[in-house]
Chains A and B, each alone.
Chain A
Amino acid sequence: MTIPNTGEILLDVQGLRKYFPITKGIFRRTVGHVKAVENVSFQVRKGETLGVVGESGCGKTTMGLSIMHLIQPSQGTIRLHTDGGWTEVNAQSIRRLRDKMQIVFQDPFSSLDPRMRIRDIVAEPLQAHGMKNRRQRYEQVEKLLDAVGLGSHHMNRFPHEFSGGQRQRIGIARALSLNPSLVVCDEPVSALDVSVQAQVLNLLHDLQEEFGLTYLFIAHDLSVVQHISDRVAVMYLGRIVEMGEVDSLFSRPKHPYTEALLSAIPDPDPDVVGEQIILQGDVPSPANPPPGCHFHPRCLYAQERCRQEIPELLDIDGQGHFAACHYTQELSLTGVSAGETA
């Protein structure tokens, strides 16, 4: 893939791979690898939200953590556009870059240190990045808590005194404390009640406008992704199989897997009898993926070529709708109409 307009791109990921070794025997010999993320390349534009969807175990969280260098990627380059131009994100540079890229974690219950007060949880990044004055830090914390809908009276409390939604707000305040340009949201609402999910999503949306944030939004809930994303990438078994503008991807999917995912979105209208595509079989093991297109054993349209040749992720319509399918031009796949699931 090429970068169409360098000025607009904030994050550039090329050929990202994360392999986890499988060891066996008393000498812990490596007998294989779980290919959690396999040759993933994409870009995130400044100010947009790129949604990443896929079944559990498809490698979306591993990808997010690899980009943040919270786990060491096996291969690939990650570059972030900062004031001084492109900076490569690697083990050496990451600590300096933490104020440019931050992450909101999935589980708000376990991701806050239980022995720390809220003010210290949120202020700690400020301290680590050079704000030495304690009063100044706490003033900043007050502003941040206010921005995420909490008050200064919450500052002296401990995490266990808060509900899940409130804790996720604290996690968001913590992520925003360094005023980052990129925020990786790793399933930020999937651990929350549905009623609270909407509040937190709206908060994320408002904060994006207020602070000019760029989101890499990882989720497994298609409705959530459709609601918040500008563009969407669909992952299957460690690879991106389709990526494009949200409307284009939802209404005109170009990959059979996306079609199957979309058909599974429940429709609130009881009169609509949608045709659900039931995928046969389980997700194959990422330690031993099927040859050719990884999706072919479950694909309704699979042919001989699919069993042998791995399809490339190509721009199908010349307008940035990518798909990795040999027969994408021949197939006419069913999507969902805009707003149907919102």
Chain B
Amino acid sequence: MITYIARRLLFLPVVLIGVTLMIFVAMSFLSPYQLVSTYIKSPEELKNQSLDDLVRKYGLDQPVHVRYVNWMRNLFRGDLGYSVSANMPVAEAIARRFPATVELALFAIVPVILGGIWLGTISAKHYNRPLDHLSRTFAIVGWSLPDFVFGLILLMVFYGVLGWFPPGRLSMWADSIVLTGDFTRYTGLNTVDALLNGRPDIFWDAVRHLIAPVMTLAYLWWAYLLRITRSSMLEVMNKDYVRTARAKGLTEQVVMGRHVRRNALIPVATVSGSMVLGLLGGVVIVETVFDYKGLGLLTATGAQQLDYTLVLGTTLFYGLLLVLINLVVDVLYAVIDPRVRLE
């Protein structure tokens, strides 16, 4: 197991070099003038210096491979560059935004997984009967409904009409408390920090802001998990060992829970892993709709403004997440399925 993990981690640099190379190659299709436009805030800046001066200043006249090596050299010194669009160093921008994304992911993953498995179990148990059709229809509607549409509906109803779940991460009053020195940021997760600081009012405020985006994400992903759970359970239900379980004289409930579902969850675990990965990478549309300042929104804004240092930094970060989470999923896989050996 340890050797397996070590070997997988050795592979990590290869993946990271691969993704950053791809970004650099994509960037080489842009002219230096396009790239330098990021740095220009207003036409007045061009009065004292020419565009070519700026291109030289930021090293954009160098060939792609030289820029890549320079970027790498800075990376090893711990410098990811300065993001113009975020107005702060890239590393700092990621460090600030990532906790928000983690918080949303943590809150979303539980209802997504539990709800999806629950719906899938209902469907499988009532295979081709009304309850199956009902839960599948419900889930498919969520899958087909664009998340910006469903998100906007939620926003309209629960914020516009009812005023329950506002957009953003915190209300103004809570934000002002969080930003003072009295409030210690242990983790960067508002809910956790609020509890650690003994502020249940701020905790509740943070949760209030999370509910609508979590609902949007859950409704979107339920169909996916439902389908996997359903088909996997139907497959397992026809297995011989389920017949054996019945022959043992177990109640139908035990047969379903202990034998069918436990075995059916193996593929569900794999899918859940990639889902966590997707959530941690940031969910651009949901973050945009709810003005939730996470990693997805940061990257999307940066990409729109051709802020290539930021895009490179976040891509590198995603690559790191991808390899690590896939590793965790593979290790967990061996835990839940005794037949899997990590060699």
Q: Which residues of A contact B (CB under 8 A)?
A: 68, 70, 95-96, 98-99, 102-103, 105, 107, 110-115, 124-125, 128-129, 158, 160, 171, 174-175, 178
Contact = CB atoms under 8 A, between A and B. Distances in A.
B339 interface: yes
A107 B240 contact: yes
B248 A124 contact: yes
Nearest to A114: B339
Interface in B249-268: 249-251, 254, 259, 262-263
B73 interface: no
13 contacts: A70-B243, A98-B248, A99-B249, A105-B247, A113-B241, A113-B259, A124-B245, A124-B250, A128-B250, A158-B338, A160-B339, A171-B244, A175-B247
Contacts, number: 63
Interface string B52-64: 0000000000000
Contacts of A70: 243, 246-247
B239 interface: yes
Interface centre among A110, A112, A113 (most CB of B within 10 A): A113
Interface in B108-137: none
Given A107-B240, A115-B262, A115-B263, A125 B248 contact: yes
A158 B336 CA distance: 12
A112 to B, nearest CB: 6
Given A112-B244, A158-B338, A95 B239 contact: no
A68 B246 CA distance: 10
A113 B249 CA distance: 15
A99 B247 CA distance: 10
Contacts of A158: 338-339
Interface string B311-343: 000000000000000000000000011110000
Contacts of A110: 239-241
Interface string B83-113: 0000000000000000000000000000000
Interface centre among A70, A124, A174 (most CB of B within 10 A): A124
A80 B262 CA distance: 34
B113 to A, nearest CB: 19
A124 B242 CA distance: 13
A114 B248 contact: no
A105 B243 contact: yes
Interface centre among A70, A115, A158, A174 (most CB of B within 10 A): A115
Interface size for chain B: under 10, 10 to 19, 20 to 34, or 35 or more residues?
20 to 34
Nearest to B250: A128
B340 to A, nearest CB: 10
By DSSP majority rule, is chain A's interface helix, strand, loop, or mixed? loop
A114 B241 contact: yes
B338 A160 contact: yes
A73 B263 CA distance: 28
A125 B249 contact: yes
Contacts of B338: 114-115, 158, 160
Contacts of B250: 124-125, 128
Contact of B241 (A68, A96, A111, A175): A111
B249 A95 contact: yes
A98 B240 contact: no
Contacts of A160: 338-339
A97 B34 CA distance: 80
B247 A103 contact: yes
Interface centre among B246, B254, B263 (most CB of A within 10 A): B246
B133 to A, nearest CB: 15
A125 B243 CA distance: 13
Nearest to B262: A115
A102 B246 CA distance: 11
Interface centre among B240, B247, B263 (most CB of A within 10 A): B247
A102 B243 CA distance: 12
A95 B241 CA distance: 17
Nearest to A117: B338
A113 B263 contact: yes
A10 to B, nearest CB: 18
Contacts of A114: 241, 263, 337-339
Nearest to B260: A113
A175 to B, nearest CB: 8
- 7 closest A-B pairs by beta carbon, nearest first, are A98-B249, A110-B240, A111-B240, A125-B248, A113-B241, A158-B338, A111-B244
Contact of B240 (A68, A105, A129): A105
Given A114-B339, A115-B337, 9 more contacts: A70-B243, A70-B246, A105-B243, A114-B337, A115-B338, A129-B249, A160-B339, A174-B244, A175-B247
A111 B263 contact: no
A98 B247 contact: yes
A128 to B, nearest CB: 5
A307 B262 CA distance: 53
Interface centre among B241, B250, B336 (most CB of A within 10 A): B241
A46 B254 CA distance: 32
